[in-house]
Homo-oligomer: A and B are copies of this chain.
C-alpha cells in the first residue's frame, strides 16, 4: 500500500517480477477490493503471471506520517504488519515494502528480531561507481547516530552482503570521513577506524571522503544514518538536476535540437544505465529475516527490481550468513571486540537460535 504511486506500482511491479522469475510466487497485502481492482487493471501481458499472485486482505494501512512509536501501538491487521508476520511465521521467505521506512524498521525489528546481537538493523543500498561496479552505502537513516561499535557492525554487514550477493571475494571496506588523516572526524569515526584496523579477515581500507563513494576504490562505505541519508538524497537530487540539464542543453538551440534528436537514443541508454531503478531496493541488514525497502518514488519497474533484490538475498541465505560471519569475525577478533560479550558464543547454537527464514 506504500509508495508515491500506491498499490498500482506495487501490484504491477510484483506481477512483472513474477513474469520474469518463474520460481517466484508472491502475496500482496492490503484491502482486498482495492488490490483486486489493481489486478484487474493490469496490462494484458501480465495476466498469466498474475495468476501466481495471492491477494491477502489487510484492512488497515500504516500511513506515511505515522511515527514508529505509533506504528508499534497500531492494530496488527495493517498491510505492513501482516506482511512482516508472514515472514515471521515462515509463509514468506522475504518481504518488500515501499511504505513508511520508520514504521517498517520498527515493526520488522519486533516481528523478526535481529541476528548476532545487532541492536538495530542498518539500511543499505548500492550506488553505481565510475569503475562500472557498485558500492554499498550504509547506514541510510535507521541509526541517526552511531557509536564506534555500530559502525564496526555496519562494516562487517556490508562486507558480508557484498561477498554473498555480489560474489566479491574480499570486499574493500572504508569509513566515510571528512579527511583521510587519522586525526580528522568525530570521535566515533576515529574509534571505529582504530577497531577496524585491528580486524583480521576484513579488507579495511581506512577513511574515505565523500567522492570516494562513486570512485570505485571501495565496495562498502560506512557512515551513520544521518550522513548516509543526506548523502544519498543529495545524490538523487544532483543526478536529477544534471540529467535535466543534459536534456535542456540539447534542446536549447536549433542546431543542437537536431543533434538532440539524433542523440536521443544515446541519452536514453545513459538514463537507463544510471537509472536509480536499477539499484532500487534498500536492504534492512541485521534482521533475522529478509526485508527490502523500495524507494517511495519507484514505479512498477523499480518495485520489480526491489523484489529481485529480495530474491537474491533469499538465494544467498543472507541473514544466516550475517549471523555466522559476524560471530566468526568477533571470535577471530575477540581481543578487539572483547567488550561485546559475544566472543564465547557457539556458532552452531547461534544458528539454531537464529534459523534463516
Contacts and interface: CB of A to CB of B under 8 A. Distances in A.
A145 interface: yes
A335 interface: no
What does DSSP make chain A's interface, helix, strand, loop or mixed? helix
A102 B117 CA distance: 39
A260 B227 CA distance: 37
A83 interface: no
Interface string A206-223: 000111111100000001
A341 interface: no
Given A178-B144, A210-B230, A229-B210, A263 B236 contact: no
A156 to B, nearest CB: 21
A255 B243 CA distance: 21
A259 interface: yes
A166 interface: no
Query: Interface residue tally of chain A, by bracket?
Result: 35 or more
Contacts of A176: 230
- How many copies of this chain are found per oligomer? 2
A141 B266 contact: no
A185 interface: yes
Contact of A231 (B181, B230, B266): B230
A121 interface: no
A170 interface: no
Interface in A193-249: 209-215, 223, 225-227, 229-246, 249
A267 interface: yes
Interface stretch (A18-26, A41-49, A268-276): A268-276
Taking each of A129, A144, A145, which has the highest tally of chain B beta carbons within 10 Å of its own beta carbon? A144
A67 interface: yes
Nearest to A256: B266
A235 B235 contact: yes
28 contacts: A67-B181, A102-B179, A128-B241, A129-B241, A130-B237, A141-B178, A144-B184, A178-B229, A210-B237, A211-B234, A212-B237, A213-B238, A214-B237, A214-B238, A226-B227, A231-B231, A235-B235, A235-B238, A249-B267, A249-B270, A250-B263, A253-B266, A256-B265, A256-B266, A259-B259, A259-B262, A262-B262, A263-B263
Given A210-B233, A226-B227, 8 more contacts: A144-B186, A176-B230, A178-B225, A178-B229, A185-B226, A209-B230, A214-B240, A242-B243
